[in-house]
Amino acid sequence: MKTAIVFHDDFRKYALGSDHPFTGERYKHLPEVFGHKDLSARKSEITFMRPKPADEACIEAVHGEQYLGFIRGINETGGMITLDTPIPPGLYDIARLFAGANILAGRLIAENMVRRVVVPGLGAHHAGYDFGGGFCMINDIAVMIEYLRKYYPVQKIMAIDYDAHCGDGTQDIYYDCPDVLCVDLHQDPMTLFPGKGFAYQIGVDAGQGHTINLPMPPGASDEDFMRAFQEVILPVAMDFAPDLIVANGGLDAHVDDPLSQLRLSINGFQQMMRSIADLSQKVCDSRLILILGGGYNPKVVPAAWTAMISAMLGGPKSNVTASTAPPAFDPAIGRQVGEMVQEVKRIQRPYWPCLCAPA
C-alpha cells in the first residue's frame, strides 16, 4: 500500500515576516528532498495529494468562539497574537489549509486508502483552546483528531511530539481526555519556551496519565532520546493500543538549530522515525501520520526530511548528512536523562503499570 504526501504550494505562504525565523523558505527544498536517490528510487510507493482548507466548523470543534473571533478579525487587517507571533493579513486562511491537509491525511487512513501519510506542514502545537503563540494560530493537529473522532471509528489516538518545544497547545486541548494520549519529548521547560511540559503535568480528571512529558536536559543527543523512547513511549503505546499514531515536531532539536540546546543528529531523527514507524506496525496496523515541521536552520531541512520520510517508508539507513557530525554521547547528560526517565516512570506508574520496575 502506498504512502501519501499531502502538499499544497500555498503552504509556503505561512510566513510571519521577512525578519522572522518562521518563513515559507523550507518548501523550496522539497524538489531536493524527493530528488534524493533514497526517495526517487521509491517513487512508485508514493502518491501526492492536494488538500483543501478545513471548514470553519472543523476549526470551531477545537477552538473557543472568542479566540476565533479575535484571530478572524486580525486576519483581515493584520495584527499580533503574542510578541513572537505577528499575523500578516490572510494567514488564517493558510492555517486552515494546513488543517485541511491534516484532515485529508486522516481520511486517507480512516478510509483504508493508505496506511501512512506525510504532511510537510505546520503542526501548530502551541495553539490551545483559547490561545495561540509560539508561531501558531490554530491547532491543525487537534482539528484532524477531532474530525476523525466525529466521523470515523478512530477513537484512540496517540500523539507523539518530538519538537524541542513542548506542545502545550495540544496538551491543553486534551488535558482531561482519556482517548488522546499526548507524549512529548522536548527540552527542559526550565530552559526553553513555552515554560510548560514538566514531568508532573500529567492531565486532569479522566485524562490523568494521558499526558506524558519527557523533558530532556540541554545537551541531550541521539542515545538519550532513544532511551526515553524505549523505556517509556514504547511500553505505554503497547498498553494504550491506539487506532492511529500522529507524530509531529520541527527539526529544532537538531544540534545545528539556533532555537534550542538539544543535540540530535540526522541519524537521530531517522532512528526516532524508524522506531515510531515500527511501533505503528505493532500497535495499529501501520496507521501513521507524520507532520513534518521545518526547524530554523535551512541547511538541516532537506537532509532531515529525506531521512525521516525514508525511515517512514521502511527503507535502509539513509546516507544523507548535515553540516555537523553526530554529537558524541555525553555520560553526564546521560545520567540526567536516566534520572528524568525514572522520575517520569514513578509519576506515571499509577496509570501505566507497564512502567513498574522489574522485580
| Active-site amino acid positions | 126
Q: Give alpha helix (H) positions in the chain.
A: 30-35, 37-40, 56-60, 65-77, 91-110, 140-151, 168-173, 222-228, 234-240, 266-283, 301-313, 331-348
Q: Is the preceding peptide bond at 194 cis, omega within 30 degrees of 0?
A: yes
CB within 8 A of 18, min separation 6: which ones?
none
Residue 75's contacts (CB-CB under 8 Å, 6 or more residues apart) are 87, 89, 90, 91, 92, 93
- For 66, 98, 140, 262, 273, the CA distances from 53, given in Å and listed in that order, are 21, 7, 11, 34, 28
> Which residue from 132, 215, 123 is spatially nearest to 172, judged by alpha carbons?
132
Phi-psi region of 241 (alpha: psi -120 to 50; beta: other; left: phi over 0): left
The C-alpha angle with vertex 1 and arms to 230 and 295, in degrees rounded to 5, equals 50
The residues with which 118 forms a beta bridge, in sequence order, are 5, 290
Whole-angstrom Cα distance, residue 108 to residue 117? 8
Q: Hunting for cell 479575535 — which residue is that? A: 70
The three grid cell numbers given for residue 63, joined into one nine-digit string? 477552538
